[in-house]
Each structure stands twice: as structure tokens, then as C-alpha cells.
A and B are shown apart, each in its own frame.
Chain A
Amino acid sequence: MIRSLNNGKGYLWSFHTFVILYLVFLFAPLVVTCVLAFNDSNFPSLPWYGFSLDWFLSPGPERIGVFHDSQNLRAMVTSVQTAFWVSVFSVLVGTCASFLFEQEEFPFKSLLYMLMLVPLVIPGVILGISQLLAANTMGFALEDMFGWDVGWLRPSFWLVVLGQFSFITTFVTLVVSARLRKFDRTLEEAALNLGANRFEVIRYITLPFLRSAIIGAGAVAFLMSFENFNTTLFLVGSQPTLPINLYLQVRDGSTPVINAISFLLIVGTSVLVLFNLYVSRKAE
């Protein structure tokens, strides 16, 4: 049954086999995508025609590698910019929310806490359409009342940032709160007794304690924003993010360039995840 008991060989082996099959199931699509990015063929499929870096480096005209593919490069830059702003905003507001929920007492606190958790159970598509509707309503109202034409309230870069921010902040809050709960509040009292004010306490004592959690939450926010599809789909304007742009290409037929981009994404994500793991291990 468990490792301390004497298990039958057959039992153990069936378990090992099951988990190995499961790992194959997990990794097969990723491995195949990566391998085919280096196939010297015009289609992302077998047979294998030899190793080639064309889908990364070729300047065209027959084959255009990722690094010369202006449309995909632009989408990548848009995604990085979106993820950057989403992480900045969600870390700022999420940290405030953790302080609010962990260290302050006020009426309706549990109600507000429930409300903070709500984005966890709203499907991404619904979040997208409701924000699209609200931004549209607000845009019309501003135009009616003041004659202002607010561009970012139409599907646009900033609307995507707001849409992703609205649910990623919840995850940041949960990560930072978990760390803040372990904080020894007598340290704060000591500092207050020594004459520090609340902001000095936060700046010199609490924030350094939270640093690794905040960095980790920021990395999580960055990744979540970078890969988001469902919410972004409804808010995206003329600047598609990478997942949206890839989706359009996959739907209309695929080329090995998509494999090359996927390869870069897989490598980039793994590096960021391992870095995050390293930071959080160090903090423990």
C-alpha cells in the first residue's frame, strides 16, 4: 500500500507503469512540438527530413523563421508588455489586499474577502464579456455626458491589462497572504515601541519578510497573463497578444513557425518556473 509496508512486486510495478504512462501523456504533446520545430520540412509533421534551424533563423522568402516574422514578434512584444503591466498592478493591489485581510479589522471584512475570492469561480469567458460590456457602457456614458472619447474603453491594450488584472490579483493576494500569515507580529510591536510608525514598519520589516513571496507572486502573475486566452479573447483590439495570434494561425492551418514559437515558449516558461521554485525554496 504505502512505502512503509511490504508491497507485492506486481502491485508496485503496476503503479510505476501507470505513473510512467501518465508522464508520457503529460509530456508527449510538448516533446513532439519541440522536436518538429527542428524538422527540415514545410509541414509540422513526420517524416523527419533532418535537423534545421530554418524555422528560427531563416530570413525568407520561402521560409520565414520566428526571428524574422514581424507579426509574431510584435505579438510577443505585446504579450510581454501586457504581462509586465498586469504583474505590476496586481502585485501592488494584491499586496495591499493581503495587508487588508491579514492585519486589519473592519466591518464586512468576511464579505469583502468572499468577494475577493469570486474571480476564482467565474469562467474566463464570462469575465471577458462582462468587462467588455462594462467598458462599453462606461465609454458611452462618458461620451454622452462630457463628450469624451476614451479610446482604451474599446477593445485595446489597456482593456486587456484591466481584464487580466481583475482575476490575477486574486492569485497574488492568496500567495502573499499565505506568507504574511507566518509573519511574527511581535516584531512589528517591537518596532512600534521603538518609535517607528506603521509605514516604517511595513517598509523596513514586513516588506523584506514578504520579498520572496512578492517576487514569486509577480512571476506567477506574469506567466498567467502571458498565457491567458479566454478573457483576453473578448478584450483584444488591434494588438493581439501571442496566444490570440497563435490561435488564429493554428485555426487557419499550421506551419512549423508555430512549433518554433512553442519551443521558445516552453523553454522560457520552464526557466521562469524553475527560477520561481528556486526563489521560494530559498525563502523557506
Chain B
Amino acid sequence: MKQSRLAFWIFLAPVLGWLLLLIVLPHLDMLYMSFRSGNFSDPGWTLANYRTFFEEPIYWLTFVRTATYAVVTTLFTLVIGLPVAFYIAKVVRPRLSGALMVLLLLPFWVSELVRVYGWMILLRESGVINYFLLKAGIIDTPIEMLYNDATMIMGLVYTSMLFMVVPLVSVMESLDDSLVEAAYDLGAGKLCIWRTIIIPHAKPGITSGCIVVFMLSLGNYLTPNLMGGKNSLWFTEQIYNQFIASFNWNQGSAFGFLLLALSSGIVWAGLKLTRQKLGEVAS
């Protein structure tokens, strides 16, 4: 028993060190910094960093915009992901579904930067798609397809697709075929089966997929930065600007804390609404 206590402490010490030093303390420090004045001659507690956020329309407008677009991204991802997941789990032959799954997972292990870069050479003015459209005589002058909101959302959908499809596939696989068969025998239409059987059954997968995709889009920096236009500012870019360009760490901390509050608030609400626990969603 004594040895077992020793083992316990050997397991506990590195875990506590990791969680306290690298997760808890840094975020407390961020919260603390966000309430401090950045003025070196007169340091002290202040609400100025948060006041700036609410008083400057560009900041809170970007914030609202980021949240709205993250929601739109999540919806698109769900609409595309549902049929794909259903196809893999229920329609295609079982032997093929394993191979399809690998095929779906592969692109997401490649660095996000490479994937975004691939879209850039496809879509830009001198890009591959424009080249073929010109060749085919569909257009006369190349169109700039990059640097607008629609492309940016497409990019976000692309980068977070995996996190929607994987939970959906696993939840679809757990659906009992005989339920669908019974409904079919009783004369239910496809729409009715989807509405009353498949969607309710897939709800936990839908929630966890939506939560993860929303959070990842909200906190994404790379895709909005490279695919969005000059006007499509993302809130993470504001944080970056405060930290690296203006060197106003206190202001940046306030922004960071607001983004964290928003993302955890939405995740929490999503879990509460569907009566799930973070632990269940994660595993």
C-alpha cells in the first residue's frame, strides 16, 4: 500500500505541474493583465481595456462579426457533413466505408497552412480555376475569387470539416438499422425518417461536432488572415495586432479574455442545452 501511495504521487506531480503552470496560471495572469493599466508611469487597476472594446465600434463589430461567421461556418459544415457521415456509416458497403474513412481523415493531418495555400493557388486571379474558365471561354477576364467573405467561410468549412464528420460517423454507426427498416415498412417517407429517427439519434454527435467546429473557427487565425480580404477582419487578428504590432499587452489580454469567455460560454450553453458533459463529448 505504501508503494501505491508513492506511485500515486509520481503520477500526480507531473500532471499537477502541467495543469497549474501551463493552463491555470497563464490564464489567471491574462485575466490579471487585462485589468491593469498599460501605462508604466501610472500602473494600477483599471477597466479601461474593456471600455476601449465597447467604445471603439471596430472592436466589438469585429467581435460580433467573428461570432456570426463562426456560426455560419458551423451550419455549413453540418449541412455538408451530415450526408457524408450517413453515406459512410449506412449507405456504402462496409468494406468500402473503412477505406473512405481513411481517405477523409488524411487531408486533415496535413498542415492547415498547406491546405489554405492549395486553395490560394486554385482560386486567385492567376489561379488554376481561372485558367480553366478562361480556356473554356466561359469568362473573358480572370475573376479574383480570393479575399472575400464567401471564400473565407468556405476555407473555414474546409479546415474544420473533419471535426464534424468524425463524431457524426460514430453516432450514425450506433443507429440500429432495424429502426429505419421498420419506419420504411410502415410507409414513412425519407424526409420523415430523417426528421423523426436519424436526426434525433444523431443529436449528441451533432452537438459535439458543432461545438468543436464553432470553437475552432472562432479561434482560427490562419484561414481568415490568408483568405479573407482587407475588410474581413477576424477577432484573433485584433488580438495579434494588439500583442505584436501595438505591443499593448493589456489591451490584448482583455480581447483574449473576451474571446475565451465567448467561446467557453457557447460551449457551455451547447452542452447544457443538449444535457451532455464535456468528458462525454471529448471521448
Interface centre among A32, A129, A166 (most CB of B within 10 A): A129
Known: A2-B90, A28-B118. A116 touches B19 (CB 8 A): yes
B153 surroundings in chain A (CB, below 8 A): none
Interface residues on A, range: 35 or more
A122 to B117, CA, bound (A): 25
Q: Among residues 9 to 55 in chain B, which have CB atoms less than 8 Å away from a CB atom of chain A?
A: 10-12, 14-16, 18-19, 22-27, 29-30, 33
Q: Among residues 85 to 144 in chain A, which have CB atoms less than 8 Å away from a CB atom of chain B?
A: 92-93, 96-97, 99-100, 104, 106, 112-127, 129-134, 136-137
Minimal Cβ-Cβ distance residue in A for B80: A22
Q: Is the CB of A250 within 8 A of B80?
A: no
Would you call B152 an interface residue if the criterion is a C-beta within 8 Å of the partner chain's C-beta atoms? no
B128 surroundings in chain A (CB, below 8 A): 32, 36, 45-46
Chain B interfacial residues counted at CB < 8 A:
91
A15 surroundings in chain B (CB, below 8 A): 83, 87, 91
Q: Is the CB of A104 within 8 A of B253?
A: no
Q: Is the CB of A106 within 8 A of B8?
A: yes
Q: Which of A63-71, A146-154, A229-237 contacts B (4 or more CB under 8 A)?
A: A229-237
A197 surroundings in chain B (CB, below 8 A): 3
Q: Among residues 132 to 178 in chain B, which have CB atoms less than 8 Å away from a CB atom of chain A?
A: 132, 158, 161, 177
A118 surroundings in chain B (CB, below 8 A): 23
Q: Is the CB of A92 within 8 A of B14?
A: yes
Q: Is the CB of A27 within 8 A of B107?
A: yes
Q: Which of A49-57, A209-217, A265-273 contacts B (4 or more CB under 8 A)?
A: A265-273
B249 surroundings in chain A (CB, below 8 A): 133, 136
Residues of B contacting A: mostly: helix
A122 to B104, CA, bound (A): 25
A124 to B236, CA, bound (A): 10
Q: Which of B56-64, B199-207, B220-228 contacts A (4 or more CB under 8 A)?
A: B220-228
Q: Is the CB of B282 within 8 A of A233?
A: no
Q: Is the CB of A174 within 8 A of B121?
A: no
Q: Is the CB of B279 within 8 A of A113?
A: yes
A33 surroundings in chain B (CB, below 8 A): 114, 117-118, 121
Q: Is the CB of A130 within 8 A of B218?
A: no
Would you call B209 an interface residue if the criterion is a C-beta within 8 Å of the partner chain's C-beta atoms? no
A188 to B107, CA, bound (A): 40
Chain B nearest Cβ from A278, distance in angstroms: 11
1/0 contact string of A2-18 vs chain B (CB within 8 Å): 11110000011001001
A177 to B10, CA, bound (A): 17
Among A116, A198, A254, the residue within 8 A (CB) of B15 is A116
Minimal Cβ-Cβ distance residue in B for A115: B19
Would you call A240 an interface residue if the criterion is a C-beta within 8 Å of the partner chain's C-beta atoms? no
Minimal Cβ-Cβ distance residue in B for A132: B243
Chain B nearest Cβ from A20, distance in angstroms: 10
Q: Among residues 244 to 283 in chain B, which have CB atoms less than 8 Å away from a CB atom of chain A?
A: 244, 249, 252-253, 256, 259-260, 263-264, 267, 278-279, 282-283
- For this complex, 15 residue pairs linking A to B, each with C-beta atoms less than 8 Å apart, are A1-B180, A3-B93, A15-B91, A29-B119, A30-B115, A122-B264, A130-B27, A131-B26, A134-B30, A177-B283, A198-B6, A223-B109, A230-B221, A246-B113, A247-B222
